[in-house]
Chain A
Amino acid sequence: MEQWPVLYQQWKQFIIAGEAVTPWQKYFVLFYQAFMEADRWKQYLNGVGTTLTVTAMALAMGVTIGVIVAVIRTSHAQQRPGRRNPVLGLINLVCRVYVTVIRGTPMMVQLLIMGMVIFKSSRNFTMVGALSLGINSGAYVSEIIRGGLMSLDPGQAEAGRSLGLNYFDTMRFIVVPQAIKAILPALGNEFIILLKDTSLITVIGGKELLYAAQGIYSRTYEQMFPLFGIAIIYLILVMIFSWLQGILERRLRQSDRR
């Protein structure tokens, strides 16, 4: 390990001078250049940190927006006919437009609009990126939650209401706890998509993992190691979260068989 910098300098000079080197020596130089020289691994580590932070922020925002939109849309749909609340109707319309626009346009375009039009003057690219991802994710999460609520046997809510429970108690104690179980797998997938989509925020200058790799290969002109490197990092992150998701789902299923 200690002689790595020495070997790196030596073999790098060979390559520059056009002398013959073994493939092993060549890859060592590229590897060292991509990850070790000038402590570049710290840049990847910062990138991972930002990627995870942005994912967490976007997810929190996505779930918050998603729950609100889903509740508005289902409670609008479940009003007794002829007794519809016009204010709720208007809010519902806004929610529908939001979901349609977000799901009907590419994530990349939304990011560019947010970064270069709406928040043109903002310098905090990473935050603008997280905000865009959160707004995007909210539309998908709201559809996931709405699907979960609708997949539940309507007899469950009817039983609650027939006992005299009001709408919100019925949702809180009967519908939502059962819907969460149905929603969790899809929500896990949304989380994984979000994690990978953070790489898109580089287009507006967000400083996450891909941004780190780009910064490095723009100096070294060697793309293979930085790109493979971050691909492996994304893969490992996704695998860790899939594994955690599996544990959570298995635990929930166990309580079913009780």
Chain B
Amino acid sequence: MIDVKNLSKSFGHHLVLDDISQHIYPGEKVVIIGPSGSGKSTFLRCLNLLEEPTKGVITFDGTVITDPKAKIDLIRRQMGMVFQHFNLFPNMTIRKNITLAPVRTGLMKQSEADADAETLLERVGLRDRVDAYPAQLSGGQKQRVAIVRALAMRPKVMLFDEPTSALDPEMVGEVLEVMKQLADEGMTMVVVTHEMGFAREVGSRILFMADGKVLEEAPPAQLFGSPTHPRLKDFLSKVL
């Protein structure tokens, strides 16, 4: 579904991603772990071109998105993204946050989008907050709304960048629960997280990144059960 070939990214002279090649298959749940600063966010942000790759080719559903002529807005509509700091629009109600993109891009009429937003909010238990503003929600609620906002575009793949890292511990569970539900429904997901329990339970494949490279990749049982790379062993001994 997403094919990454020889992806490199530098900020100035600082090489952040070093020749990464990966393929993400439909329905896969790829979980990316690794120490901070290893390039996980940058990798994720290259997938929907929030960062411009310095080198390499990324193909999404047969379209070369790194091609300068690619219609990037059309491609991004099919890739949902959830940010660490939610990035809800504080000047809009929850309803407007969710319906703005589907309506403006012509995916739905306002009335359809409204009904759709309420159905989606119902699923994450926030139907009654549809007319609230983001400032009135807790962190966990904001992140659930952010997930719904991305889902409202009916994406084929969802990208999560540390979706629970900015949350108080008691709110982590409610967000992970929504993500698990999504995984069970068969959504293709790429998730950067420090939640090793989630990685183990939901991940179909774990990538361990350090220094801009994928140093090890395996299904969770193998990667957590018998890590081989010393950097991974070291990392796991610190986080587990």
Contacts and interface: CB of A to CB of B under 8 A. Distances in A.
Interface of A: 80-83, 153, 155-156, 158-166, 169, 173-174, 177-178, 256-258
Contacts of B135: 256-258
B87 interface: yes
B91 interface: yes
Contact of B150 (A163, A257, A258): A163
A159 B90 CA distance: 12
Contacts of A159: 81, 83, 87-89
B83 A163 contact: no
* B contacts with A: majority SS: loop
20 contacts: A155-B83, A155-B87, A156-B87, A159-B87, A160-B89, A161-B76, A163-B100, A163-B105, A164-B73, A164-B77, A164-B105, A164-B153, A165-B104, A169-B104, A173-B100, A178-B89, A178-B90, A178-B91, A258-B133, A258-B136
B74 interface: yes
Contact of B83 (A80, A158, A178): A158
Contacts of A163: 76-77, 80, 100-101, 105, 149-150, 153
Contacts, number: 70
* A contacts with B: majority SS: helix
Question: Interface size for chain B: under 10, 10 to 19, 20 to 34, or 35 or more residues?
Answer: 20 to 34
B48 interface: yes
B76 A162 contact: yes
Given A82-B52, A256-B135, A258-B133, A164 B87 contact: no
A255 B159 CA distance: 32
A112 to B, nearest CB: 44
Contacts of A174: 89, 91
A164 B74 contact: yes
B191 to A, nearest CB: 15
A162 B48 contact: yes
A160 B85 CA distance: 14
A160 B50 CA distance: 11
B51 to A, nearest CB: 10
Given A80-B52, A83-B68, A177-B91, A162 B105 contact: no
The list of the 5 closest CB pairs from A to B, nearest first, reads A164-B77, A163-B101, A159-B87, A162-B81, A155-B87
**Interface-central residue, A156, A159, A160, A163, by most chain B CB under 10 Å:** A163
Interface string B58-79: 0000000000100001101111
A254 to B, nearest CB: 12
B45 to A, nearest CB: 8
A133 to B, nearest CB: 32
Nearest to B89: A174
A177 B88 CA distance: 14
A173 B150 CA distance: 17
A128 B13 CA distance: 51
B85 A155 contact: yes
Interface string B104-115: 110000000000
Nearest to A258: B133
